[in-house]
Amino acid sequence: MKKTIVQIGIAAAAALLIASTQSALAVDAFDGFVSINDTYYDTDLDVGGLDAFAGHVFTITAGNALNMGGDVKTTPGGGATDGADAVEIYWKVYLGAGPDLNPFTVQSYGFDTNPSPGVDKWAATAGGGQGLVDVAAGLTPGTYTLEVFWKGTDFAFGGFDYLNNGGSNYKATVNVVPEPTTSLLVGLGLLGVFSLRRRKY
C-alpha cells in the first residue's frame, strides 16, 4: 500500500512538473525593441543598424519628455497553437545604478501585425496599445537607470514567457541635466559672490 501511495505521489509530482514546464513554454517572447522619442533601439544587440538599448545613455534637459514605446514579437511554444493573448512591458526609473527594490510600472502592448506565419507583433506606439509613456516625467537633474522587460501570456494554455535578458532585465542610463537658464542663474550667482569677496578683501 505504501509503495502504491509513493508511486502515485511521484507520478503526480512528475505530471505537475511537466504541466508547469509546458505552461511556461506555451508562448515564446522574442525580438524586443524600445523606442525613445521615435528612435528605435534593440534590447541588447546592434541589429540592422539600430543602437542597443542596454547600456545606452540618453541625455535630456530637465522638464523635457522621454517618450517610450516599442514592440516585441511572440510565437506559440510548448504545444500551444494560438500564441500570446496579451503582452506587457514592465519598466521603472530610479536614481543611480541600483539595484532598486521598488515595483515596476506595467504597460500593455496592443496587437499590431502578423509579420510572418505563426508570429505576432505587439506594440506600444502613439496610436497603439496604451500609447507612449513619458518615463522622464518629474525627474530632477541627476543620473538614472531605466530598466525594462516584457511578459507574454497565453491565457488559453495558462502559459507565459519573459523577455528579460536572462533575469537581469534591460537597462539604459538617463542623464537629466539642468535647464540652461538654471545653470546660467547659478553661474551668475557664483560670479556675484566671487565679485563681492574680491571687493571685501
CA distances, 149 to each of 76, 129, 171, 186 (Å): 19, 16, 9, 39
Cell of 10: 511521484
What domains can you pick out in the chain, each with its CATH number?
A: 2-200 (2.70.50)
Tens-digit pLDDT profile for residues 143-171: 999 999 999 998 877 788 999 999 999 99
Cell of 5: 501511495
How far is the C-alpha of 31 from the C-alpha of 98, rounded, in Å?
26
State how far the Cα of 120 lies from the Cα of 170, in Å rounded to an integer. Answer: 22
Dihedral of alpha carbons 134, 137, 142, 144, sign:
negative
Among 144, 165, 180, 170, which Cα is nearest to 58's? 144
pLDDT score, position 123: 94
CB of 93 closer than 8 Å to CB of 146: yes
DSSP-H helix ranges across the chain: 2-24, 180-200
> What are the b/e assignments for 92-123, b being 16+ CB within 10 Å?
bbeeeeeeeeeeeeebebbbbeeeeeebbbbb
Q: Which residues of the chain register pLDDT less than 70?
A: 1-25, 44, 46-49, 77-82, 127-129, 181-201
Rounded to two decimals, what is the model's pTM? 0.76
The pLDDT value given to residue 20: 34
Grid coordinates belonging to 133: 509613456
- Which CA distances in Å does 66 have to 130, 172, 177? 16, 12, 13
What is the per-residue pLDDT for 181?
67
Reported as a single tens digit per residue, the pLDDT across 45-55 is: 756 667 899 99
Can you tell me which residue has the cell 506559440? 76
